[in-house]
Amino acid sequence: MRENSDGQGSTWKRTPVSNLVRYGPSGVYFARVRVGGKLIRRSLKTNKLGVAQLRLGELVKDERAKREARVEVSRGRMRFGDAVAIHLKQVEGNVGLKPNGKLYRKRCAEALVRSWPGLLDKDVHKISERDCLHWAAEFGKRYSASVFNNTVGSLRQILEIAVKEGSRYGNPALAIKKARIRQKALDLPEHDEFLRLVESIGSAGAWCSRDCADLVRFLAFGGFRKGEAGAITWADCDFEKREIVVRGDAETGTKNWTIRRVPMIPDMLELLQRLRQDRQEEPLTAHVMKVRECQKAIDSACKKLGTTRFTHHDLRHLFATRCIESGVDIPTVSRWLGHKDGGALAMKVYGHLRDEHSVDMAQRVTFKAVDEEGIIRLKRGESAA
């Protein structure tokens, strides 16, 4: 691989592909292309040549589309709809976003336009802070804090495009304060209640009842996200090491784009051994779970037994809760869940369980003499109370 000629020595390497260079120290590929006379250098976030070529094509296509949109805007006034079009093209061309992330951002833009009558045809320079605050006040009444915050984020990004294009001065959406997201109170089934729920789901009589019950067990015993669970194959289940490799599916991957390994707790090992015994003829590429969703089955069972409704994601909370109650430390649980913050989020969600567990464990600590059988020897006249 020859050195490039941009004056940076051997750090940047040429590749056989036009407009594609490789950063030597990390091996990551970068796009280096001119669009409308402007030199663009951007990381493609991969060290695989084939992947880099695909992302390069997407980036070049997106940059050219954005330039065409800017040219159109420069010929006249910029409507909010023009800025939305540029924003959506940027979202589509963002190689760092997974398909589900792109879809969610598009839906936020749609919710914004739907909730603000006449917004698409409005001149961006005529949108005031007062307009933004009025919309936010009405929108916040109808949607959750997380949806509100994400939609406000989209409004800010769209108006920022207008600022960068010189169509207005300042971003009026910055006046909107994000809503405080309150932690959801966990109302999870107890041990016996969970067993009854699973039994009820499995015996409901539908063609997929047993498969739905197995999915509920799989989610609860592994702490997977629903999409992750549906993508796990037999090849991902290492019975010798007793662990499961979590990759996510081909389109969405895992939430943090990383592969992780989750140990098989005894219940999980028993479940997988039973399923494999029943389906020995399946290839290693076959998915372990036969269904990917079972919310209706869960709802029916909860209604039948008169228990609080829970969701697929609540089973992830149930896994974490059982682990912590069993003495597993929060950083380890966080790693099993696939969190990348070292346990900060898990501490916020499950910290109260840690505190309750600490109080319980503290009762086992003593400075009194203990014999080999673990019995505390009392001094003469000392009460055991």
Report CA torsion sign: 246, 247, 252, 257.
positive
- Report the SS3 class of residue 113: helix
Least confident of 9-13, 98-102, 179-183, 205-209: 9-13
Name the phi and psi angles at 6, rounded to 5.
-100, 15
318 alpha carbon, distance to own chain's centre: 18
Model confidence at 364, in pLDDT bands (50, 70, 90)? low
Which distant-in-sequence residues (6+ apart) come within 8 Å of 129 by Cβ? 172, 175
Amino acid symbol at 166: G
The whole-number pLDDT of residue 324 equals: 84
Cβ atoms of 40 and 135 closer than 8 Å: no
Domains in the chain: ranges and CATH: 1-57 (no CATH), 77-182 (1.10.150.130), 191-362 (1.10.443.10)
Gap between the Cα atoms of 149 and 336, Å rounded: 28
- Is the pTM higher than 0.75? no
- The separation between the first and the last C-alpha atoms of the chain, rounded to the nearest angstrom, is 79
The whole-number pLDDT of residue 116 equals: 96
Residue with tokens 């997974």: 98
Residue with tokens 């203990």: 370
The whole-number pLDDT of residue 119 equals: 95
Model confidence at 81, in pLDDT bands (50, 70, 90)? very high
Q: What angle do CA 50, 53, 56 make, to 5 degrees?
A: 150
The overall average pLDDT reported for the chain is 84
Amino acid symbol at 21: V
Cβ atoms of 305 and 197 closer than 8 Å: yes
Helix (H) or strand (E) holding 43: strand 38-43
Least confident of 24-38, 100-114, 339-353: 339-353
Buried b (16+ CB within 10 A) or exposed e, 4-19: beeeeeeebeebeeeb
Gap between the Cα atoms of 92 and 101, Å rounded: 10
Gap between the Cα atoms of 213 and 208, Å rounded: 9
Q: How many CB atoms lie within 10 A of CB 241?
A: 11
Gap between the Cα atoms of 248 and 252, Å rounded: 7
**Where do the DSSP E strands lie in 183-238?**
237-238
